[in-house]
Every structure is written in structure tokens, then in C-alpha cells.
Structure 1
């Protein structure tokens, strides 16, 4: 649940059209479930988006929601803005953000 003061971590990655399906499967079948299985205190959720219309290069956006900055650091380490990209994902990405962007939730309207 998004609440005032939560932090959203945004990260972008792009693949070639040929690698898009494999990356999508890796991200949603292995990486994201693995992150959530770590049960990081303060990590509330992880959303994976793919830009439409599907065009070359394929553009993915991950949004992770945390309770606070300490939770972000528990996930990413001391350099909390550095992107966290496993080698298996790097092999499929044409390019990606080297640094994640962080946003404070001001209001959530549902």
C-alpha cells in the first residue's frame, strides 16, 4: 500500500527485440520473485512495467515501494542509488540505468 512518505524506486532497462521475451521471463519469473522472497523489511512491493506499444528497443520499468530510506538501503546497500542488476539480466539488456531514481509519495489517490 502506498502511503505518504513511502519511497518509490524507479529503474529503466532496455533490450533488443530479440531478447525482450527472455528478459521478461527472467525478470518476472526469477528476479522479481527472488527479491520478494528475501522478505526485506520495509519492501512493500515490486511492479514491472513494459512500454506499449511494443517497439524496438523493448523498454522495461521497475517500481519498488519501500517504507523508508533505511529499507532502500537494506535492498541496495550503502550506495542506495546504484542499480541492482544481476549478471544474467545484464547479459540480456542493451542498456540500463546505472542509478535508480527515488521519489517520495506525497499523495496516493485510489
Structure 2
């Protein structure tokens, strides 16, 4: 299993709008693609002094499944235009890890 991790930061004022965009549009859009080998996505949020950090963690069966999601340049971050509009900054690439111990079931 492969774990894909990405981070983005937004202003405190845009944090609620960004979270809503993720939960109600972007994540459902990913699920709707029915990518073979995609196992799920998790969202983390961290309040900071002047901004809010978000991290996404995605799980895939293989790098080939990651490529089905992100394309041949799979390390490049997938950040839709609506997300870019409310993010102050973001990682331009995603990190990929071999999953040694999978996340617990929620």
C-alpha cells in the first residue's frame, strides 16, 4: 500500500470555505472517479497563529493506482483551481510512502 501526503495553508478567514470545498466537492469528486486501487482519503486541520494548515492523506494499492489519480508525473500535487483560489500557499508536490502499518479504521 502507498500513502500519499500533501499540505496546504490558508488564511484563518478562508479556512472554513476551504474545508467545505474539500468535503463537499473535491473529495466526492475523487470518490466519483472510481479509481481502481484508491482506498480512501483523510483530512487533517491544524490551527496556527496566522493561518490554518490542512493535510490530506490518501491510500492507494500501488504507484500505478496513484498514477491513475495524479497522472504520470504523480509526485506533482493535484490542486484544483477552486482550491488554489483560497489557499495562501501549498506544497507543489506530494510525498509517497510505503505503508508499513495502515491507518486504523474510523
- Coarse TM-score class (shorter-chain normalised): over 0.9
2:49 is the counterpart of 1:69: no
Q: Would you say 1:50 and 2:45 are equivalent positions?
A: yes
Structure 1 segments, 4+ long, off by >6 Å, are none
- Give the gaps of 5 or more residues in structure 1: 1-5
Which residue does 1:3 correspond to in 2? none
- Backbone CA RMSD of aligned residues: 1.2
User: How many matched pairs?
Assistant: 103
The CA distance in 2 between the partners of 1:90 and 1:108, in whole Å, is: 30
Q: Does 1:11 align with 2:6?
A: yes
**Consecutive unaligned residues in structure 2, runs of 5 or more:** none
**Larger strand percent:** 2
Task: Show the counterpart of 1:40.
Answer: 35
Instruction: Give TM-score scaled by structure 1 length.
Output: 0.89
Give the Cα separation in 2 of the matches to 1:109 and 1:50: 17
